[in-house]
C-alpha cells in the first residue's frame, strides 16, 4: 500500500488549496478513504472521509461548508479542496485508507501553512 | 459529539516495564476503538482495532481491552522501539481521536 500526498504549501488566510493523494498497491475503489490532519506539535484530527463510490461523505464540523473531499477511482486518487482557510488549518494533512472505521494505512502527509 | 480522553498524558518508563494507557469515551462506543502508535516525524501506525484485535504484524506484547466507555492499551514488556506517542480513536459515531499519551524513557 502506498499513499502519496501532494499540493500542500503556504496560503494566506481566506485562500484556497487543493490536496491530492495518489494511491497504489491496493484496490482503491474498494475502500473508504479519509483525510486526517495534525497541527504542529499537536494531536490527530479526523477531517473528512468518502465512501468507496463517493456516494457518502462526512466532515468534521469545523470544516463543513469550506472543505470538499472527492475521489477519482479511475485515477486511484483522493482529493481535498480547502476553501476559506483559517490559521487553525495549518497542519500536516494525511491521506488515509479506511478499514471498517479504522485508519489502517497512512501517507507521509503534506504540510499546509496558513499565514499572511 | 463523542469526546475521548487519555491518561496519563505522559508516561515515563524503562525497558522491560509493563505499561498501561487508559482511554475513556464520553459515551458508550461498544468495542469500536482503535489504538495507534506515532513516532516523531512519522505517520501513525494502527496497532489495535475493535478494542482488542491485534493488527497484523504488530508484536504480541501489545494488547487492548475494554468496552463501553473505558479501554486500555498495554505493553507487557516495553521495548526500545515502543517509545512513542499513542492515540486512541473511536469509530462508533463519526471518528474522534484522543489527545495522545507520550511514552518516554525514564
Grid coordinates of A34: 479519509
pLDDT single digits (tens) B39-84: 999 999 999 999 999 999 999 999 999 999 999 999 999 999 999 9
Q: How many CB pairs under 8 A join A and B?
A: 53
**Best of A50, A51, A60, A101 to disrupt the B interface by mutation (most B CBs within 10 Å)?**
A101
Q: Which residues pair with B12 in a beta bridge?
A: B104
CB contact under 8 A, B89 and A103: yes
Query: Mean pLDDT across the stretch B81-104?
Result: 97
Grid coordinates of A116: 499572511
Cβ(B47)–Cβ(B36) under 8 Å?
Answer: yes
CB contact under 8 A, A100 and B49: yes
**Best of A103, A106, A108, A109 to disrupt the B interface by mutation (most B CBs within 10 Å)?**
A103
Three-point CA angle A110, A115, B1, nearest 5°: 65
CA A109, CA A21: separation in Å to the nearest integer?
9
Looking at every residue in chain A, the average pLDDT score rounds to 97
Amino acid at each position: 500500500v502506498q499513499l502519496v500526498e501532494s499540493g500542500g504549501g503556504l496560503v494566506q488566510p481566506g485562500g484556497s488549496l487543493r490536496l491530492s493523494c495518489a494511491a497504489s498497491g491496493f484496490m482503491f475503489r474498494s475502500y473508504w478513504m479519509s483525510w486526517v490532519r495534525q497541527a504542529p506539535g499537536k494531536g490527530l484530527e479526523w477531517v473528512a472521509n468518502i465512501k468507496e463510490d463517493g456516494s457518502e461523505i462526512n466532515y468534521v464540523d469545523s470544516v463543513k461548508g469550506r472543505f470538499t473531499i472527492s475521489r477519482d477511482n479511475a485515477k486511484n486518487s483522493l482529493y481535498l479542496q480547502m476553501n476559506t482557510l483559517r490559521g487553525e488549518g495549518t497542519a500536516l494533512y494525511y491521506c488515509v485508507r479506511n478499514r471498517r472505521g479504522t485508519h489502517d494505512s497512512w501517507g507521509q502527509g503534506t504540510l499546509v501553512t496558513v499565514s499572511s | 459529539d463523542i469526546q475521548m480522553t487519555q491518561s496519563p498524558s505522559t508516561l515515563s518508563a524503562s525497558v522491560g516495564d509493563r505499561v498501561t494507557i487508559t482511554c475513556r469515551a464520553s459515551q458508550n462506543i461498544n468495542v469500536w476503538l482503535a489504538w495507534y502508535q506515532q513516532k516523531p516525524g512519522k505517520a501513525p501506525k494502527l496497532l489495535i482495532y475493535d478494542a482488542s484485535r491485534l493488527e497484523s504484524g504488530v508484536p504480541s506484547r501489545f494488547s487492548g481491552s475494554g468496552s463501553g466507555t473505558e479501554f486500555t492499551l498495554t505493553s507487557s514488556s516495553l521495548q526500545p522501539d515502543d517509545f512513542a506517542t499513542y492515540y486512541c480513536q473511536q469509530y462508533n459515531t463519526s471518528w474522534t481521536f484522543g489527545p495522545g499519551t507520550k511514552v518516554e524513557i525514564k
